[in-house]
A = this chain, B = another copy of it.
Amino acid sequence: MNDNFTEEITPLLIEWRRTLHQNPELGFMEYYTTYRIGKELEKLGFIIHVGVDALESASRMGVPDEPLLTEQENKALHWGVEESWMEKMRGGNTGVVAIWDAEKNGEHIGFRFDIDALPIKETDAKDHFPSNHGFRSQEDGVMHACGHDGHTAIGLGLAHFIAQYNDSLTGRYTLIFQPAEEGGRGAKAITDKGWLDEVDQFYTGHIGINPYPVGTIAATTRGFLASTKLNAHFKGVASHAGMKPEEGKNALLAAATAATQLYAIPRHSGGPTRINVGKMSAGSGRNIIPEASYLEIETRGETKEINRYVLEEAKRTLHAAAMMHDVEVMIDFVGETEEIECDDSLITTITEACQSSNYVTEVLPFAKVSGSEDASFMTNTVQNNGGKATYMLFGTELPYGHHHPAFDYQETVISVAVDAYIHILKGGMSHE
């Protein structure tokens, strides 16, 4: 095998990353992003499944409203997305699943790359690398502030390797370019389509998270919590607060009652739990009994079962708060993640495979993380079907942290990740 692959493809990795960074798209609206990824994979000879063929449409969570979708669809068409592609994506069905069969017996290996951006206005500070290198976001208020532009580039780099080195490969490869990771909205829809059911090894991961130096990677992670994201809409009856206080049904009070009570959900002896009401809005005018209110909520638990406990308590609390103030409540589930328990056996696999990498300088057995990841649906499905799965980290300095308007990372981490993945592939094959 040509050990210079990573070095040679690096300029392309950077070019992909930068053009993606310039054209960020929000979750379930990655029309142009999907199109560009898909065209590249098609060119390489992958069998691709796009949009409604890639995901189970009904399993998506937190799909944007119709007008927003339409606006972005029109924009994407204007940018050159072909109508035949748009047909498969229209209505927020984005993402690509690419299949490669090496036509020699071997394991089925899956990879996942998330492709969506965030509703953040990118800084125009002079010392911001994308700004002073000419690839700052061109979409106002949308930004690749979590590194998914890099993840996508990694996936494309890996695809090139597979296509180029087919002859020396065995088994089957499934490359998932997943929409709407932010908010835990997209992975379940991909998973429900069955792509992970027969995968023997599954790899995914994130650049950054912990600020390791470039070259350091973590073979596994510990600490992703199961979580559910939900919104509650309370609907009451407005009334003049001075003249007819008894005729109002106070939606603000229902939301306020719910908020204070949600934090009082009892602790669980089985492990940590979390609850947060991150946002609230209610009411229209000072002297009107508020007719409507809105809460953004997140539950977490160490395991899916513990999160389920918090969630069930939260649902009852919301309904009781509505009953308390005689209003109605509608609950939207807009995101969900499970816990991730990486297979420790992959620590050795990865560590040994990467020993010959020129890019990976150190493999940590595990990294402590927190927060939530919807790749958990994939890792758990793989493991439930007898496969092995891990969630890796790829080190880079992080001057500003994820989701910050000035978020940035060292671009060489992209090459490190590609090189790690192809060494894992090669390592896996050398086991044959």
In the complex, what's the smallest C-beta–C-beta distance from A324 to chain B, in angstroms? 4
Interface size class of A (residues with CB under 8 A): 35 or more
Residue of B nearest to A309 (CB): B246
- Whether A283 is near chain B, meaning CB under 8 Å from some CB there, is yes
Please tell me which one of the listed residues B243, B252, B281 contacts residue A277 in the complex, with CB atoms under 8 A apart. B252
> Is A278 a contact partner of B269 (Cβ separation < 8 A)?
no
- Whether A134 is near chain B, meaning CB under 8 Å from some CB there, is no
**Copies of this chain assembled into the complex:** 4
- Whether A132 is near chain B, meaning CB under 8 Å from some CB there, is no
Find the residue from A252, A268, A290, A319 having the highest chain B CB count within 10 A. Answer: A252
- Whether A321 is near chain B, meaning CB under 8 Å from some CB there, is yes
A300 to B269, CA, bound (A): 13
- Whether A267 is near chain B, meaning CB under 8 Å from some CB there, is yes
> Is A229 a contact partner of B286 (Cβ separation < 8 A)?
yes
- Whether A19 is near chain B, meaning CB under 8 Å from some CB there, is no
Answer whether A323 and B320 are a contact pair too, CB < 8 Å, given A246-B270, A298-B287.
yes
Produce 1/0 per residue, A394-409, CB < 8 A to B.
0000000000000000
> Is B279 a contact partner of A282 (Cβ separation < 8 A)?
yes
> Is A298 a contact partner of B286 (Cβ separation < 8 A)?
yes
Answer whether A248 and B266 are a contact pair too, CB < 8 Å, given A276-B287, A316-B324.
yes
In the complex, what's the smallest C-beta–C-beta distance from A259 to chain B, in angstroms? 4
A250 to B297, CA, bound (A): 14
- Tell me if A's interface is mostly helix, strand, loop or mixed: mixed
> Is A264 a contact partner of B264 (Cβ separation < 8 A)?
yes
- Whether A317 is near chain B, meaning CB under 8 Å from some CB there, is yes
Produce 1/0 per residue, A306-339, CB < 8 A to B.
0001000100110111011010000000000000
Please tell me which one of the listed residues B267, B288, B290, B296 contacts residue A274 in the complex, with CB atoms under 8 A apart. B267
> Is B263 a contact partner of A266 (Cβ separation < 8 A)?
yes
Please tell me which one of the listed residues B229, B255, B261, B323 contacts residue A319 in the complex, with CB atoms under 8 A apart. B323
A279 to B324, CA, bound (A): 19
- Whether A45 is near chain B, meaning CB under 8 Å from some CB there, is no
List, in ascending order, chain B residues with CB within 8 A of A80's CB: none
Q: A245-B269, A287-B298, A320-B323 are in contact. List 16 more A-B contacts (CB 8 A).
A: A242-B370, A245-B266, A245-B268, A248-B266, A252-B259, A252-B278, A252-B279, A253-B260, A256-B259, A260-B260, A260-B264, A277-B283, A280-B290, A281-B281, A281-B282, A319-B323
Task: List 23 contacting pairs A-B, 8 Å CB cutoff, sorted by A.
Answer: A183-B286, A241-B298, A242-B298, A246-B267, A246-B309, A248-B266, A252-B277, A253-B260, A256-B260, A261-B264, A263-B263, A276-B286, A276-B287, A276-B288, A278-B286, A279-B282, A279-B285, A280-B283, A286-B297, A316-B326, A320-B323, A320-B324, A323-B323
Top 5 A-B pairs, shortest CB-CB distance: A241-B276, A320-B324, A263-B264, A256-B256, A279-B283
